[in-house]
Amino acid sequence: MEHAGRTLLSFASNDYLGLATEPVLKEAAKAAIDRYGVGSGASRLICGSLTPHGRLEEALAALKGTEAALTFSSGYATAVGTVSALAREGDVLVLDKLCHASLIDGAKLSGAAIRVFPHNHLGKLESHLKWARENYPEGRVIVVTEAVFSMDGNRAPLAEIVEIKKRFDALLLVDEAHAVGVLGRNGRGLADALRLGAEVDIQMGTLSKALGVSGGYIAGARKLIDLLINRARSFIYSTAPPPAVAAAAMAAVEWMQTAEGERRREQLWRNLAHLGEEMPQVFSGGRKIQSAIVPIILGETERALEAAERLSAQAIYVPAIRFPTVPKDAARLRITITANHTKEQITRLCEALRGIEVV
Ligand SMILES: Cc1ncc(COP(=O)(O)O)c(C=O)c1O
């Protein structure tokens, strides 16, 4: 990447499969611009719904094995609009402590009672659901979590969460933002990898990370999607995404399911395995690589900033993530690996990390 006139080797992007610069996507976007122009002209419900939007939603529903899907202009808009549309006063939202800001903002906007369980803590999840059922017997109760956590790179224990939410007759929303393209058959995500797709009532994802474009989506039952069309304010009151963006995203969804897509995913996992071999200390104590996100937790903000600066001096870019995105004492370097990195580049990163004594 280019930054302030310098070329840096980046380990910061969520473009895990390198799709953002893939020729097939560029061609799809160009063809859509030629056919439909640049802007969509209005919100989806006025006259902004163009053929690429509908095709993309069909492709996403097919990918996820659901009756329907709905796209939004960003992952953020998806979370805020969906969570606030599905829950209201008299309902309960039960969120993992590490849920993304967009899910938290949607919860706050909803007017529902909010309970937060410590990260991946099943016992607390269960006691919150018990509380919810006792105090809101008529309310809708929704468990909200991520498949792969964006700043920690670890996964949610989905099978256990599904079992618990069923016992309490709750719904489950899983944000697969960092799992789609990386996990599951044809990159369908974590729920698919565990064959739990049918158990996740509200399957959320973004088009902006491994899919290389921009936007977000919900996949689920037709009834759910119809409800969102009528109630999700970030969908209703916002101009439809540019048709070229929808067309490129559609090309990404299709490409991901080809043999080339599979090869690229395998390359990503080979790169991650190489990182693990080069930095075994980061993966000690049974810690495994669970996704394309590998944090090195350093503690104090200053330590993380200094480490990032020292890497930058060696022309390597790894962002220092700090409060309020992560807790005050858990500032970190957030490394992301993509399929486009070479083995040599990963080795160079690991040598630099050892050189500054953070691993
Ligand atoms: C878990 C998670 N959900 C939602 C989002 C928002 O997605 P977008 O960047 O497409 O708005 C992000 C990324 O920023 C994310 O990490």
pTM higher than the cut 0.75: yes
How many alpha carbons fall within 13 Å on the CB side of residue 50?
21
Q: Is the dihedral of CA 32, 35, 41, 46 positive or negative?
A: negative
- Per-residue pLDDT tens over the stretch 77-108: 999 999 999 999 999 999 999 999 999 999 99
Residue pLDDT, tens place only, 222-238: 999 999 999 999 999 99
Say what the pLDDT of residue 359 is: 82
What phi and psi values does residue 234 have, to the nearest 5 degrees? -75, -15
Instruction: Report the pLDDT value the prediction gives residue 66, as an integer from 0 to 100.
Output: 98
30 is catalytic: no
Q: How far is the CA of 99 from the centre of ligand 1 (A)?
A: 10
Task: Output the pLDDT for position 255.
Answer: 98
For 232-266, the pLDDT digits (tens) are 999 999 999 999 999 999 999 999 999 999 999 99
Contact 91, 230 (CB under 8 A): no
Residue 92, judged by CB atoms within 10 A of its CB (0-12, 13-18, 19+), counts as buried
pLDDT for 348 equals 97
* The two three-digit tokens of residue 347, written as one number: 């080795």
* Ligand 1 pocket, CB under 6 A: 74-76, 79, 100, 102, 146, 150, 175, 177, 206, 208, 216
Judge whether residue 286 has pLDDT over 80: no
Query: Sign (positive/negative) of CA torsion 174, 233, 247, 208?
Result: negative
pLDDT tens per residue across span 160-197: 999 999 999 999 999 999 999 999 999 999 999 999 99
In this prediction, residue 280 has a pLDDT band, given cuts at 50, 70 and 90, of: confident
Q: Is 288 a catalytic residue?
A: no
137 prior amide bond cis, ω within 30: no
Å from CA of 296 to ligand 1 middle: 21
333 pLDDT tier (thresholds 50, 70, 90): very high
Catalytic residue check, 150: yes
Q: What is the pLDDT of residue 281?
A: 79
Average pLDDT over residues 274-301: 89
Give the residue among 33, 24, 26, 66 at the shortest CA–CA distance from 52. 33
Q: Is residue 285 pLDDT above 80, yes or no?
A: no
Expressed in angstroms and rounded, the spacing between residue 128 Cα and the centre of ligand 1 is 26
Atom of ligand 1 at shortest distance to CA of 207?
10
Q: Which pLDDT does position 40 carry in this prediction?
A: 97
Question: What is the spatial distance between Cα 103 and Cα 216, in angstroms, rounded to a whole number?
Answer: 13
Q: Which of 100, 128, 165, 209 is catalytic?
A: 209
Identity (one letter) of the amino acid at 321? I
Region for residue 4 given its phi and psi (left: phi exceeds 0; alpha: psi -120 to 50; beta: otherwise): left
The confidence score (pLDDT) of residue 211 equals 98
Q: Which atom of ligand 1 is nearest to the CA of 208?
A: 10
Q: Which atom of ligand 1 is nearest to the CA of 148?
A: 1
Q: Which ligand 1 atom is the nearest neighbour of the CA of 216?
A: 10
**Which residue has its alpha carbon closest to ligand 1 atom 4?**
75
Nearest CA to ligand 1 atom 9: 75
pLDDT value for 26: 98
